[in-house]
Amino acid sequence: MSTSTLIGTALALLGVLATVFPGWFGPLTGGPEPPVDLFETVERRVRGGMLLGLGLCVIAIPALRPWSVSIPTALFYLMAGALAARLFGLLVDGAVPKQWLLVAIEAAVMTAAALWLWRSTPPAA
């Protein structure tokens, strides 16, 4: 296992823990005080999901070049982590209409990144 894979795995696991238990990671997820509303409760989970996505990026991207592959891959995995955490927060904490708008935006960015990656990757011989 390479160093980047180990670091990525550690970041991803930390992100999952911060998503599931945001109160344990106060400085990372928004402070020790309780959230003021349901929207902020879900957003604290999303901050952990971004760490999950960062860990997935470190695992998935072995080299930064070519940029046409690394940029859409990073976007895809960062949005995947945020979307997973947001959906988990909606499932556990409850739904707010604004959160569903953010789910749609994150899904659209993921779709655009996937299409970009699909178009920039040459076909296999």
19-68 per-position pLDDT tens digit = 999 988 888 888 777 778 999 999 999 999 999 999 999 999 988 888 88
Number of domains in the chain: 1
User: The whole model's pTM is what?
Assistant: 0.89
Domain that holds residue 79: 3-120
pLDDT category of residue 125 using cuts at 50, 70 and 90: low
Structure tokens at 81: 């982590």
Considering the chain, what percentage of its residues have pLDDT values greater than 70?
98
Whether 125 maps to a domain, the answer reads no
Q: Say whether pLDDT at 96 is over 70.
A: yes
Q: Residue 66: its pLDDT value, please?
A: 84
